[in-house]
């Protein structure tokens, strides 16, 4: 890779990272928030399921936090966390939490009462019941949230370039403007979009591995769709799909 060239992958030296290095930084800054968000929202969602009065105020607070634009969030944090990756990671963690929490609550709530009763009859305590029944049954819903959170986190990291070199692949945008090289912007946008789609596909694969009981393939999916039409939980499913769409910024 020659420096000072004008190709799509001739990166200016002020980036201090190779292309692969930028991808690494980008993944770090986008996936750590999703992981923390998941770690926080699992117990929080469990608390919201157990104490129903807790859910509406928690949802309201998260909605308000979600309405704060990412750039404002970043800039405000500079005062406390400096020009560091933490400044990007904290807001993205909050956004991930906002997306994940409702999907986990919906997922755990949608476990049929007969299933829970069966687990109880088999002598499961509440701890076993949560980890062996409720959580696995909620995996499809959790992954629906995880996919949206991951893709939107990957696309949002790029805003970090505005606060100074903290945007991963988005830093290419800052340099594109500084050196007036539009091809760097193309590289940035295409790389981020591809990264998002690839991570989405990986999550779909992981979900398939984690839910061996789910119907596979076209025919099975159609049969499952038919079963859903006979026994419709349609509005609830559409409602959670709609909420998930409150996702990408």
Partner 1 sequence: MNIFHFINVFFSDNAHWHGYAGIPHRLEEHLGYTFEALAIAAVIALPIGLITGHTGRGGNALALVATAGRALPSYGLLVLMFFWLGIGLVPVMIPLVALAVPPMLVTSYEAIRTVDPAPVDAARGMGMGPVAVLFQVEVPASLPLILSGFRSAAIQVVSTAAIAATVSLGRYIVDGLYQRNYATVVGGATLIALLALAMVGLIWLVERVVVSPGVRRSN
Contact flag: residue 235 with partner 1 (CB under 8 A): yes
Contact flag: residue 146 with partner 1 (CB under 8 A): no
Alpha-carbon torsion (157, 160, 165, 169), positive or negative: positive
Contact flag: residue 247 with partner 1 (CB under 8 A): yes
Query: Number of residues in contact with partner 1, rule: CB under 8 A?
Result: 56
Q: Token pair of 146, please? A: 């995880």
CB-based contacts of 13, cutoff 8 Å, min separation 6 = 3
Contact flag: residue 87 with partner 1 (CB under 8 A): no
Among 14, 83, 120, 245, binds partner 1 (CB under 8 A): 245
The position carrying tokens 């945008």 is 173
- Other CB atoms within a 10 A radius of the CB of residue 65 amount to 14
Contact flag: residue 207 with partner 1 (CB under 8 A): no
Contact flag: residue 243 with partner 1 (CB under 8 A): yes
Q: In this chain, which stretch among 3-11, 86-94, 109-117, 144-152 interacts with partner 1, using CB under 8 A?
A: 144-152
Nearest to 246 by CA among 145, 157, 170: 145
Among 41, 70, 93, 96, binds partner 1 (CB under 8 A): 70
Closer to partner 1 by CB, 133 or 247: give it.
247
Closer to partner 1 by CB, 48 or 195: give it.
195
Q: In this chain, which stretch among 1-9, 15-23, 120-128, 179-187 interacts with partner 1, using CB under 8 A?
A: 179-187
**CB 109 → partner 1: shortest distance, Å?**
13
**CB 119 → partner 1: shortest distance, Å?**
28
**CB 162 → partner 1: shortest distance, Å?**
7
3-state SS of 54-113?
Answer: HHHHHHHHHHHHHCCCHHHHHHHHHHHHCCCHHHHHHHHHHHHHHHHHHHHHHHHHCCCH
Contact flag: residue 177 with partner 1 (CB under 8 A): yes
The CA dihedral of 115, 118, 123, 129, to the nearest 10 degrees, is: 0
Q: In this chain, which stretch among 41-49, 112-120, 206-214, 237-245 interacts with partner 1, using CB under 8 A?
A: 237-245
How long is the chain? 249
Binding site for partner 1 (CB under 8 A): 63-64, 66-73, 75-76, 79, 147-148, 151-152, 154-156, 158-159, 161-163, 170, 173, 176-177, 182, 185-186, 188-189, 192-197, 200, 229, 232, 234-235, 237-239, 241-243, 245-249
């Amino acid at each position: 890779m020659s420096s000072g060239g004008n190709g799509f992958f001739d990166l200016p030296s002020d980036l201090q990272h190779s292309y692969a290095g930028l991808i690494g930084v980008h993944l770090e800054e986008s996936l750590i928030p999703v992981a923390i968000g998941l770690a926080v929202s699992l117990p929080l969602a469990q608390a919201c399921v157990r104490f129903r009065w807790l859910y509406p105020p928690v949802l309201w607070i998260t909605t308000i936090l979600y309405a704060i634009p990412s750039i404002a969030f970043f800039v405000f944090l500079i005062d406390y966390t400096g020009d560091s990756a933490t400044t990007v990671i904290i807001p993205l963690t909050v956004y991930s939490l906002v997306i994940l929490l409702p999907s986990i609550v919906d997922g755990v709530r949608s476990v049929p009462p007969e299933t829970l009763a069966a687990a109880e009859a088999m002598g499961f305590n509440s701890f076993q019941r949560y980890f062996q029944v409720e959580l696995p049954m909620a995996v499809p819903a959790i992954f629906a949230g995880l996919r949206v959170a991951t893709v939107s986190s990957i696309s949002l990291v790029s805003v970090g370039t505005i606060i100074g070199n903290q945007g991963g692949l988005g830093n290419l945008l800052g340099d594109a403007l500084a050196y007036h090289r539009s091809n760097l912007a193309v590289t940035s946008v295409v790389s981020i979009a591809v990264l998002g789609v690839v991570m989405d596909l990986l999550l779909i694969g992981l979900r398939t591995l984690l839910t061996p009981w789910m119907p596979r393939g076209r025919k099975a999916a159609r049969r499952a769709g038919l079963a859903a039409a006979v026994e419709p939980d349609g509005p609830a499913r559409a409602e959670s799909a709609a909420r998930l769409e409150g996702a990408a910024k």
